[in-house]
Amino acid sequence: MKKFTLILFFLTCLSSSITYSKNELYEKIDLFGEVLENIQKDYVDDVDQSEMMDSAINGVLQSLDPYSAYMSPELFKEMQTDTKGEFGGLGIEIGMESGVVKVISPIDDTPAAKAGIKAGDYIVKIGNEQVQGKTLLEAVKLMRGPVGTSIDLTVRRKNVKKPLEFKIIRKIIEIQSVSSKLIGENENLAYIRLKSFNENSDKQFLKSLKNFEKKSNIIGYVFDLRNNPGGLLTQAINITDFFLEDGEIVSTKGRKISETRKFFARKGDEIKGKPIVVLINNGSASASEIFAGALKDHKRAIILGENSYGKGSVQSIIPLKNGGGIRLTISKYYLPSGKSISEVGVVPDILVEEEGDDFEINSEKDNQLNYAIKLFNS
């Protein structure tokens, strides 16, 4: 690669840095060029220089945070393409941690959830491919495939010594984001499970609320956000606003003025002050954390379960001149208290860890839900 190309590349990546003087910056550029020359001259195998530069670009992005990444023109086009039912997925939201794919959350009633994949699992092998060294988007690409085909995942799980292996059949993932029912011994508690924050979640959620509010015996609500990987910020704001009379819901802060905003509740509580318990776990991320965190900060709900995931950042897809693109973090979420969600997550008011190998959300063996029901009877 020519020297001026290297200079342009690094000036693009590092021009905003205030930690380097110009001389130090050029020294780093020279050092990078020297490393490339030695690889080309002395490395044991032939190296595809184009692939190596793609890896270098991605390395710059992934050094920022687990969610920023580079997409080659081929991968960017594939991500933009409407698959129209030709490709299936597994039903998991994933991120990167220490160079390995980490499961943020398996989505209810999807192949991954039914196979036994859990939030916090580390995917170390996809088919015969080792994950270490691959980008997040490359891992996503490996997991996609024609509907009805199978894929083998090798997983490492906390407190389990041996790796776990799963064979999962790909399906079209269609998520009904809201489900509801009456619970409790006297069926006087309203239970609403929110699986994601998609375009129509607020309308579905509000419809469930209004149906429950028509009943005269409802004494409280349980909102279940476990394994909800998040979704649209606007939906998190709209749904949170159903239960607050006023005050801040969430703020975003970025380097650009346009990315620094505050969002406030409008007057009106759809359930007229009835008590709320919100269930969260390690698979509750992003928009779920905004919802739970805002209700906690306003003391509008009791948060029960396990610490949430800690994804408090907003990504934007930026096209590049070569036909590729980058996914770049442009702002971070902050709760009404001013606390960042990033890496910390939302800490429950009442810590109740999932119990038993046969634990299943929204079942008789769901000890977290059973604990929530007892709170209303105490």
What residues act catalytically?
Answer: 286, 297, 311
Q: What is the pTM of this model?
A: 0.78
Position 19 scores a pLDDT of 55
Residue 136 has pLDDT above 90, yes or no: no
Q: Which two tokens stand for residue 357?
A: 């190998």
Grade residue 371 by pLDDT with cuts at 50, 70 and 90.
Answer: very high
Mean pLDDT of all residues belonging to the chain: 87
Question: What is the percent of the chain with per-residue pLDDT over 90, rounded to a whole number?
Answer: 52
Residue 18 has pLDDT above 80, yes or no: no
Residue 4 has pLDDT above 60, yes or no: no
Q: Which residues pair with 152 in a beta bridge?
A: 167
pLDDT digits (tens, 9 = 90+) for 211-243: 999 998 999 999 999 999 998 999 999 999 999
Which domains are present in the chain? 3-74 (no CATH), 76-169 (2.30.42.10), 178-313+329-377 (3.90.226.10)
Residue 346 has pLDDT above 80, yes or no: yes
pLDDT digits (tens, 9 = 90+) for 256-309: 998 899 999 999 999 999 999 999 999 999 999 999 999 999 999 999 999 999
Report, as an integer, the average pLDDT of 179-196: 94
Position 7 scores a pLDDT of 41
Residue 267 backbone class (left: φ over 0; alpha: ψ -120 to 50; beta: rest)? beta
Position 137 scores a pLDDT of 78
Position 55 scores a pLDDT of 82
Position 94 scores a pLDDT of 86
